[in-house]
Amino acid sequence: MKLKFLGAAGTVTGSRYLLSDDKHRLLVDCGMYQGVKNLRKRNWAPFPVEPSSINAVVLTHAHIDHTGYLPALVKNGFKGKIYCTKATHELCKVLLPDAGYLQEEDAKYAFRKGFSKHEKPEPLFTVKDAQEALKHFESLHYHERFEPVKGMEVTFTPAGHILGSSCVHVHHRGSDRTVVFSGDVGRQNDVIMRPPEPIQKADVLVCESTYGDRLHAESDPESELAEIITKTAGRGGIVLMPSFAVGRAQMLLYLIHKIMAESRVPKMPVYLNSPMAIKATEIFSRHHKEHKLSAAQCEMIDENTEFVRTVDESIELNSVRYPCIIISASGMASGGRVLHHLKTLLPNPRNSVVFAGFQAPGTRGDALVNGADSVKIHGEYWPVKAEVYNLDSLSAHGDYEEILQWLGAGALKPEKVYITHGEVVASDVMRKRVRERFGWDVEVAELFGEVKV
Residue 111: which region, alpha, beta or left (left: phi > 0; alpha: psi -120 to 50)?
A: alpha
Question: Do 8 and 31 form a contact (C-beta atoms < 8 A)?
Answer: yes
**Residue 108: count of CB within 10 angstroms of its CB:** 12
Q: Which stretch binds Zn ion (CB under 5 A): 56-64, 107-115, 237-245, 425-433?
A: 56-64
Is the Cβ of residue 63 or residue 364 nearer to Zn ion in the bound state?
63
User: What span, in angstroms and rounded, lies between the C-alpha atoms of 8 and 13?
Assistant: 5
Q: Which stretch binds Zn ion (CB under 5 A): 137-145, 183-191, 228-236, 334-342?
A: 183-191
Query: Scanning residues 250 to 269, which ones bind Zn ion (CB under 5 A)?
Result: none
| 397: contact with Zn ion by CB under 5 A | no
Q: What are phi and psi of 19, to 5 degrees?
A: -105, 130
Is the Cβ of residue 24 or residue 397 nearer to Zn ion in the bound state?
397
Q: Which stretch binds Zn ion (CB under 5 A): 22-30, 95-103, 104-112, 182-190?
A: 182-190
Least distance between Zn ion and beta carbon 13 (Å): 9
Count of residues engaged in binding Zn ion, rule: CB under 5 A: 2
Q: Which stretch binds Zn ion (CB under 5 A): 1-9, 134-142, 180-188, 208-216?
A: 180-188
Number of H helices, E strands in the chain: 14, 22
| 208: contact with Zn ion by CB under 5 A | no
Residue nearest to Zn ion (CB): 63
Is the Cβ of residue 16 or residue 63 nearer to Zn ion in the bound state?
63
Q: Which stretch binds Zn ion (CB under 5 A): 135-143, 176-184, 201-209, 344-352?
A: 176-184
Contacts for 18 with CB less than 8 Å, ≥ 6 apart: 3, 4, 6, 25, 26, 27, 28, 49, 54
Is the Cβ of residue 368 or residue 396 nearer to Zn ion in the bound state?
396
Is the Cβ of residue 63 or residue 337 nearer to Zn ion in the bound state?
63
Angle between helices 275-286 and 86-113 (to 10 degrees): 180
**Residue 138: count of CB within 10 angstroms of its CB:** 12
DSSP 198-234: PP---SEEEEE-TTTT-------HHHHHHHHHHHHHH
Is residue 347 classed exposed, middle or buried when 0-12, 13-18 and 19+ CB atoms within 10 A define those classes?
Answer: middle
| 25: contact with Zn ion by CB under 5 A | no
Q: Which stretch binds Zn ion (CB under 5 A): 55-63, 328-336, 341-349, 408-416?
A: 55-63
Is the Cβ of residue 185 or residue 369 nearer to Zn ion in the bound state?
185
The binder of Zn ion chosen from 4, 25, 63, 187 (CB under 5 A): 63
Least distance between Zn ion and beta carbon 66 (Å): 6
Distances (CA, A) of 199 to 49, 115, 177: 30, 49, 15
Least distance between Zn ion and beta carbon 369 (Å): 19
Least distance between Zn ion and beta carbon 332 (Å): 12
Is the Cβ of residue 129 or residue 184 nearer to Zn ion in the bound state?
184
Least distance between Zn ion and beta carbon 338 (Å): 19
| 184: contact with Zn ion by CB under 5 A | yes
Chain length of the chain: 453
Taking only Cα atoms into account, the Rg of the chain, rounded to an integer number of angstroms, comes to: 21
DSSP type of residue 322: S
Q: Which residues bind Zn ion (CB under 5 A)?
A: 63, 184
